[in-house]
Amino acid sequence: IVLIMSFVVGFVFNVIRYMKFIVRRSKASIIIDKGILVRQRYYITPQKIIFIERRQSMLTKLLKISSVFISSAGFGKSKGESAVIFPAVTNKQADKTLRLILPEFQFDKITIKPPKSSVFSYVFLPIMLSAVLSIATAVVPFITSAPLL
């Protein structure tokens, strides 16, 4: 129940944050407007863009959608903060719209995949750890409640 509630709260928070999300391009900058409770407007100079990043979770990868971020020099309050240019978009829409908004950039499709040997540390090990912890939480109350001989 806690997991479902946290998902719902996070989803509602993101809907409010990105409601009325608009990206447009002027000659000198990219203008990003977002929010319904707190309206925010960002101006990003294309010449200051360092890189463009597409992020996907396992769920969004299955749904073939992603979020697209722009890292720009001088943007954000903290180091490494990126501007969301598309909060949720299909991969085809992202490619097409990025070419329209940033025609001065050349977009090469680069895919970085982890080595197959990393499956153990990223998938198998967490599953085994979860199984051991689940068994331990089920067995410990049984052991502690057993009478001593």
Q: What is the pLDDT of residues 9-61, one digit of tens each?
A: 887 887 777 788 888 998 888 898 888 887 888 888 888 888 888 888 887 88
pLDDT at res. 60: 82
Helix (H, G, I), strand (E, B) or coil at 147: coil
The dihedral through the CA atoms of 115, 122, 129, 127 has a sign that is: negative
Q: What pTM did the predictor assign?
A: 0.62
pLDDT at residue 76 greater than cutoff 70: no
State what percent of residues in the chain have pLDDT above 70.
Answer: 87
Q: How confident is the model at residue 80 (pLDDT cuts 50, 70, 90)?
A: low
More confident residue, 92 or 123: 92
- Phi then psi dihedrals of residue 90, to 5 deg: -70, 155
**Is 29 in contact with 45 (CB distance < 8 Å)?**
yes
State the pLDDT at residue 78.
61
Whole-angstrom Cα distance, residue 99 to residue 87? 17
134 three-state secondary structure: helix
Distance CA 83, CA 32 (A): 9
Alpha carbon distance 122, 66 (integer Å): 21
